[in-house]
A and B are shown apart, each in its own frame.
Chain A
Amino acid sequence: MNFSRGLAAAACVLALAPAALPPYAMTLLTEALILGLFAMSLDLMVGYTRLLSFGHAAAYGLGAYTCGNLLLHTGMPLLFAVPLAALFSGIVAIGVAWVCTLASGVSFSMLTLAFAQLFYAVAFKWTTVTGASDGLAGIPRSPGPFGIAIFAGKAGFYYLVLACLLGSLLFCRMLVHSPFGEVLRGIRENEAKTLSLGYNTRRYKIAVVAIAFALGGLAGALYAPFAGFANTELLFWLFSGQVLIMVIVGGAGTLVGPIIGAAFFMLVSNLLSSWTDSWALFFGLIFIGFVLFAPQGIWGLLSGTGRAEGRERVRWRFLKSTS
């Protein structure tokens, strides 16, 4: 199959990266993969279910703070703290989604934004847990179990991130091709019709938000020991907006696209910010360009799904989702 061959090739290239790249490039690449995982998790909601979230930073922040606290205060090994934080983020999301899915369309988006800002406000005030504006510093990459310490190193940690990303990608791909995924697509295209077919669409929506939050939380949980630091910026609405841009620029509804979108975002923002302080302005222009002329995103352009019909469909979907 074309996908698995491409994935295997990409995995091989990425696995060889530590041997070829200088330290700083490795740092950027690791962060790009973490952000890629984060963007991909949002794609489940935005691209497959048309649940436009303006508050996905909540997932990242929850994962990062949970993992950070576990590593700082419990001495739990990195390998346990990361999945546990992801799980916690997913569980919290069930409650969040239960409220948010009471509404749909723009109201849903606003509720997600409201929840994220609520978490942000709590993080700012709950000094004992979040360190408030100082954040959590010195988050370790604790070894274990059985003294496994390879993930503490630069290359080792990179492989952990890579494994999480590839594992999540395969999981998401399986998910969207499963009957569950079919229902999600049904909700995306016509929720009323899906409902009339007998599916409890709200439960499906809550489930997909929980999965997206768990994977977004996984990304955040990896970020905390990666940077050794977590603060309220990770929960801020600006970050929710940025990840949405990564998804749309990369290509919503493709899983792989948002990963590329995240890498593109990091690369371009790094290049632009070394050139001008107003880098966000120029990135904004790039974003507008994509929305108007290539709504199928980078992945759509690369994989040739940019046929007129597909383009129309994607554009319609995007316009509808934002109207």
Chain B
Amino acid sequence: MATSVTRRAAMRASLVAVAAPAVLRHARGEAPIKIGMPLALTGPAAEIGEQMRHGAEFWAKTVNAKGGLLGRPIELHVEDTTGDPATCVRKAQLVVERDGCHLLFGMVLSSEALAVVPKLAEWNAIFVSSDNGDGRLTGSSFVPNFFRANISGPMETRVISLWLRRGEMKNFYAIGMDYAWGHNSIDVFKDEVAKAKKNFVGAVFSPIGTKDFSTYITKIRQAGADACFIVMQGADNNAFLSQAREYRLADKVQLVTSIVDLNSIHAVGDAALGLAGSTRYVFTIDNLANKAFVEAWRKEYGTEPDVFEGEQWQACQILQAGIEKAQSTDTDKLRAALETAAVDSIKGKAAIRACDHQAVQGGYMVKVVKKEGFKTPIPEIIAAYPGDEITPACRQMTFES
């Protein structure tokens, strides 16, 4: 109860803080740019929802401090979806119809995004995803009003498979969360393993919100694989990694995860050492834009930005580039502008392609190591892959070779 009250209070406060320069707006008569953000702020995916909120709030604050976008202040309308697709559709409809938002961020789970995208045309709204992984969103479920600024599930899986091709490991097992993203990523992984002429020995799926992974860990141990590919996030990921440590799973198989994030590392501590995986964003990326971003973030929050905070920031940059190019937030004009939007972002170059609205961008492979100056282990980049190597062909989820 106490936490939820503070969260709500914080949400309201954030809306006020973000909208504060709106005082200027009235003086100049400029309408705010309203962005709806249905997010899982309670439930197993809450941690990711919070990160996305931070990322967007930080961007809104930065933009508003400079006088807004096109002279208009950014206004975020955050709603809690609890991570349930049905609630998410309802909350998205709420921000569109009640609050008049025709721009959407948020939707933590791919299953939520898949439920929402068929409605975008009816709502005349554009949704810029900062985290939805499921390949179908830019494939079979593609709609013109959807844009994916983040790296997709097939792309992060591709990063891992390219990295694994170099190694000696032969047999692979996989564990994923039992919903859209988990299934999609593991399907792609299976396909990649076959192309590399190695063995995929099996997979297991855990329902969202699983707390006890002992039976799953036993299955992984018994599978006799050299490596286990993990497709998990949020509370489930933390629970799995903590239990994997207790069962000394890493002694037996190399754990390779699709998203290495700081939150999980903080949760499991030194047990994360040696964990390899792809990451969508890591604060150790070496470029000027990222250094400036991390610096500003530290000043604001006193910590390093995590995966989804960085990804959200990039999504915001892409939306901003689109709005500046279109000089408007009108849905048709903005859609046309976003189709060719490109930014030099904190992850390097990211450019939307018109054919499926996926942002082509580089992928990173990291390993968790101990580094001086940091209390907990941090992800260090061990390989980087350019966008054209890891992005599938238009509207495809698997790769040619």
Q: Which residues of A does B touch, CB under 8 Å?
A: 22-24, 27, 132-135, 137-140, 227-231, 233-234, 276-278
Contacts of A24 in B (CB 8 A): 93-94, 97-98
For this complex, 11 residue pairs linking A to B, each with C-beta atoms less than 8 Å apart, are: A23-B97, A24-B98, A133-B207, A134-B110, A134-B114, A135-B111, A137-B117, A138-B117, A138-B118, A233-B86, A234-B86
The reply to whether A277 and B42 form a contact with Cβ atoms under 8 Å apart is yes
Partner of A135, one of B4, B80, B85: B85
Within B53-106, the residues touching A (CB, 8 Å) are: 80, 84-86, 89-90, 93-94, 97-98
Contacts of A23 in B (CB 8 A): 97
The reply to whether A27 and B180 form a contact with Cβ atoms under 8 Å apart is no
Contacts of A27 in B (CB 8 A): 93, 97
The reply to whether A134 and B179 form a contact with Cβ atoms under 8 Å apart is yes
The reply to whether B141 and A138 form a contact with Cβ atoms under 8 Å apart is yes
Contacts of B8 in A (CB 8 A): 276-277
- Whether, in the assembled complex, B208 has its beta carbon less than 8 Å from a beta carbon of chain A, the answer is yes
Main secondary structure of the interface of A (DSSP, over half): mixed
Known: A278-B1, A278-B4. A137 touches B85 (CB 8 A): yes
The reply to whether B86 and A231 form a contact with Cβ atoms under 8 Å apart is yes
Known: A135-B111, A137-B115. A233 touches B89 (CB 8 A): no
Q: Look across to chain B and name the residue whose beta carbon is closest to the beta carbon of A270.
A: B94
Known: A137-B118, A138-B141, A233-B86. A277 touches B178 (CB 8 A): no
User: Measured between alpha carbons, how far is A16 from B33 in the docked complex, in Å?
Assistant: 33
Known: A132-B178, A135-B111. A277 touches B93 (CB 8 A): no
- Whether, in the assembled complex, B353 has its beta carbon less than 8 Å from a beta carbon of chain A, the answer is no
Q: Which residues of B does A touch, CB under 8 Å?
A: 1, 4-5, 8, 42, 80, 84-86, 89-90, 93-94, 97-98, 110-111, 114-115, 117-119, 141, 178-180, 207-208
User: Measured between alpha carbons, how far is A137 from B97 in the docked complex, in Å?
Assistant: 20
User: Measured between alpha carbons, how far is A292 from B96 in the docked complex, in Å?
Assistant: 40
User: Measured between alpha carbons, how far is A234 from B85 in the docked complex, in Å?
Assistant: 12
Contacts of B110 in A (CB 8 A): 134
The reply to whether B94 and A134 form a contact with Cβ atoms under 8 Å apart is no
The reply to whether A133 and B115 form a contact with Cβ atoms under 8 Å apart is no
- Please list the 10 inter-chain residue pairs (A to B) with the smallest Cβ-Cβ separation, ordered nearest first: A138-B118, A24-B97, A277-B4, A24-B98, A134-B111, A23-B97, A137-B115, A229-B115, A134-B180, A137-B114
Partner of B86, one of A138, A140, A227, A278: A227
Q: Look across to chain A and name the residue whose beta carbon is closest to the beta carbon of B88.
A: A229
The reply to whether A133 and B97 form a contact with Cβ atoms under 8 Å apart is no
Cβ of A33 to closest chain B Cβ, rounded Å: 16
Cβ of A17 to closest chain B Cβ, rounded Å: 15
Known: A137-B141, A278-B4. A229 touches B98 (CB 8 A): no
Summed over the interface, the residue pairs from A and B with CB atoms below 8 Å come to a total of 68
Contacts of A139 in B (CB 8 A): 118
Contacts of A278 in B (CB 8 A): 1, 4
User: Measured between alpha carbons, how far is A278 from B85 in the docked complex, in Å?
Assistant: 20
User: Measured between alpha carbons, how far is A8 from B8 in the docked complex, in Å?
Assistant: 43
Cβ of A290 to closest chain B Cβ, rounded Å: 24
User: Measured between alpha carbons, how far is A200 from B36 in the docked complex, in Å?
Assistant: 58
User: Measured between alpha carbons, how far is A65 from B184 in the docked complex, in Å?
Assistant: 23
User: Measured between alpha carbons, how far is A132 from B110 in the docked complex, in Å?
Assistant: 13
Q: Look across to chain B and name the residue whose beta carbon is closest to the beta carbon of A134.
A: B111
User: Measured between alpha carbons, how far is A233 from B141 in the docked complex, in Å?
Assistant: 22
Partner of A229, one of B86, B94, B208: B86
Q: Look across to chain B and name the residue whose beta carbon is closest to the beta carbon of A136.
A: B115
- 11 new A-B contacts, CB < 8 A, other than A139-B118, A276-B5, A277-B8, are A24-B93, A24-B98, A132-B178, A133-B111, A133-B179, A134-B110, A134-B115, A135-B86, A138-B114, A233-B86, A278-B1
Cβ of A65 to closest chain B Cβ, rounded Å: 13
User: Measured between alpha carbons, how far is A276 from B2 in the docked complex, in Å?
Assistant: 11
User: Measured between alpha carbons, how far is A27 from B123 in the docked complex, in Å?
Assistant: 13
Known: A227-B86, A233-B86, A277-B42. A133 touches B208 (CB 8 A): yes
The reply to whether B119 and A228 form a contact with Cβ atoms under 8 Å apart is yes
Partner of B89, one of A22, A132, A227, A277: A227
Q: Which of B90, B115, B119, B180 has the most CB of A within 10 A?
A: B115
Cβ of A129 to closest chain B Cβ, rounded Å: 16
Contacts of B98 in A (CB 8 A): 22, 24
User: Measured between alpha carbons, how far is A139 from B114 in the docked complex, in Å?
Assistant: 11
Q: Look across to chain A and name the residue whose beta carbon is closest to the beta carbon of B1.
A: A278
User: Measured between alpha carbons, how far is A198 from B113 in the docked complex, in Å?
Assistant: 57
User: Measured between alpha carbons, how far is A134 from B179 in the docked complex, in Å?
Assistant: 6
User: Measured between alpha carbons, how far is A230 from B8 in the docked complex, in Å?
Assistant: 29
The reply to whether A229 and B178 form a contact with Cβ atoms under 8 Å apart is no
User: Measured between alpha carbons, how far is A228 from B86 in the docked complex, in Å?
Assistant: 9
Q: Look across to chain A and name the residue whose beta carbon is closest to the beta carbon of B123.
A: A23
Cβ of B3 to closest chain A Cβ, rounded Å: 9
Cβ of B116 to closest chain A Cβ, rounded Å: 8
The reply to whether B85 and A134 form a contact with Cβ atoms under 8 Å apart is yes
User: Measured between alpha carbons, how far is A278 from B2 in the docked complex, in Å?
Assistant: 11
Cβ of B203 to closest chain A Cβ, rounded Å: 14
User: Measured between alpha carbons, how far is A128 from B5 in the docked complex, in Å?
Assistant: 40
Contacts of A140 in B (CB 8 A): 118
User: Measured between alpha carbons, how far is A276 from B9 in the docked complex, in Å?
Assistant: 11
Known: A134-B111, A135-B115, A138-B118. A228 touches B97 (CB 8 A): no
User: Measured between alpha carbons, how far is A135 from B114 in the docked complex, in Å?
Assistant: 9
Contacts of B94 in A (CB 8 A): 24
User: Measured between alpha carbons, how far is A240 from B183 in the docked complex, in Å?
Assistant: 30
Cβ of B120 to closest chain A Cβ, rounded Å: 10
Contacts of A138 in B (CB 8 A): 114, 117-118, 141
Contacts of B119 in A (CB 8 A): 228
Cβ of B198 to closest chain A Cβ, rounded Å: 27
Q: Which of B86, B93, B110, B180 has the most CB of A within 10 A?
A: B86
The reply to whether A228 and B118 form a contact with Cβ atoms under 8 Å apart is yes
The reply to whether A133 and B118 form a contact with Cβ atoms under 8 Å apart is no
Contacts of B115 in A (CB 8 A): 134-135, 137, 228-229, 231
User: Measured between alpha carbons, how far is A279 from B119 in the docked complex, in Å?
Assistant: 28
